[in-house]
Structure 1
Amino acid sequence: MEPFVLATDRVRLSVPTAADVDRIAEVCADPAVARWTTVPSPYTRDDAVGFVETFVAGGWAQEKDFTWAVRAPGDVDGPVLAMVGMSREGAPGVQPAGELGFWCAPDARGRGLTTEASRLVVDWAVDPEGLGLGVVRWRANVGNWASRRVAWKLGFRYEGLLRRFGAQRGVLQDSWVASYVPGDPRDPSEPWPAEAPAA
């Protein structure tokens, strides 16, 4: 599948390219990105090159991992503000499932851009003209309230906590999991957890 652009009046999503390597390396060196994602730590420019040239390009070519850089709206690609990806899995003859993942640059946080971009990607992924996914899952290490809030805003239903479920640099971490099924409301389906820290 050839990469394509998704856009609204607030964001432009396009495939990361070699021109984004330095910015990706800068953002992925942020302590919060390292803490909550599976990116290498410490993160180097070579890691960013490998991400763009191998993971991103290979994911699109194999139609398995679809990754977009989130940018300001417009007809020209600006600096990377966030990254959103959708993985697809499933055996032949079985409706596929997907998993949503994302990170946001420190200077772009708190503006709703990751939520806006993720909504675009989920809409495309569950559309029969897109990937036709039967379910989209989200997971995050326990304590990643910013990520959980994005999934909550998009209508993902919290399924629970799985102990030592997600691997992060060789260590199994407790994970929150949630899911979105086509036809679910696209707004929060449950109250925001009372135990969440104040924003």
Structure 2
Amino acid sequence: MLVVTLAADNVWLSPPVVTDIDAICSACGDASIAEWTTMPAPYARSDAEQFVRQTVPTGWADRSPTWALRERENGPVLGMIGLMARDMTAAEIGYWLSPSARSRGLMTTAVNLVCDFAFRTDGMGLERIEWRAFVGNLDSAAVARRVGFRFEGLQRAGLVQRGVRRDSWAAALLAGDPRQPAEGWPG
């Protein structure tokens, strides 16, 4: 898969690079990111190095792209967003945002950009994008809801976080779904 940069308004999405390692490590040390993700905690510089040098390039090669979220082309990393391929027509979206960048609409814009690209026939040609989060992650759920993801339910012990199974929420966006806030979400 060719590497693609996406941009709109004040959001610039491009693959993270080696010069982003320190910013990624710093952001991922935040307790709220550790609480709601499956990333290692504590998050070490070696974790960020492996992510940038191995995980990201392998993902792009395997139809599982990852982008760093920035406010401008050469701006600092504020968050991360990516798709994990489930099959040739479906993927799961995941994202995190540093605390200083929250509540500004940046992640909603980023999720829309990624979904637009993923559904385009000249993008990834997906038919379904899944979203999952640990029960209680209302910030992530609010972003998915605003984009139009439809809540599909609770998965008991649906995700593993550092060796512990936790309940999770599941939602999905189909290529033909309207892009407007969806009803039926918890919280």
5+ long unaligned stretches in structure 1: none
User: Which residue does 1:66 correspond to in 2?
Assistant: 65
CA distance in 2, matches of 1:184, 1:53: 35
- 1:192 CA displacement: 5.5
Asked if structure 1 preserves the Cα contact closer than 8 Å seen for 2:151 and 2:185, the reply is no
CA RMSD of aligned residues (A): 1.2
Deviation sequence 1:50-78 (CA, Å, 0-9, x none): 00011101111233x200001013xx321
Q: From 74, 77, 81, give the equivalent of 1:80.
A: 77
Amino acid at match of 2:15: V
Taking only the aligned residue pairs, the percentage that are identical comes to 48
User: Which residue does 2:19 correspond to in 1?
Assistant: 19
User: Which residue does 1:179 correspond to in 2?
Assistant: 172
CA distance in 2, matches of 1:34, 1:77: 26
Q: From 78, 89, 99, give the equivalent of 1:96.
A: 89
- 1:149 CA displacement: 0.3
CA distance in 2, matches of 1:16, 1:182: 27
Aligned length: 187
Q: After the TM superposition, which parts of structure 1 deviate over 6 Å for at least 4 consecutive aligned residues?
A: none
Deviation sequence 1:6-54 (CA, Å, 0-9, x none): 0012210011000000000000000000000011000000000000011
- 1:133 CA displacement: 1.0
Q: From 132, 137, 140, give the equivalent of 1:139.
A: 132
**2:52 paired with 1:57:** no
- 1:191 CA displacement: 5.6
Q: Which structure has the bigger radius of gyration? A: 1
Q: SS of the counterpart of 1:133?
A: coil
5+ long unaligned stretches in structure 2: none
Q: SS of the counterpart of 1:101?
A: strand
TM-score by length of 1: 0.91
Asked if structure 2 preserves the Cα contact closer than 8 Å seen for 1:14 and 1:77, the reply is no
Asked if structure 1 preserves the Cα contact closer than 8 Å seen for 2:80 and 2:95, the reply is yes
CA distance in 2, matches of 1:26, 1:145: 23
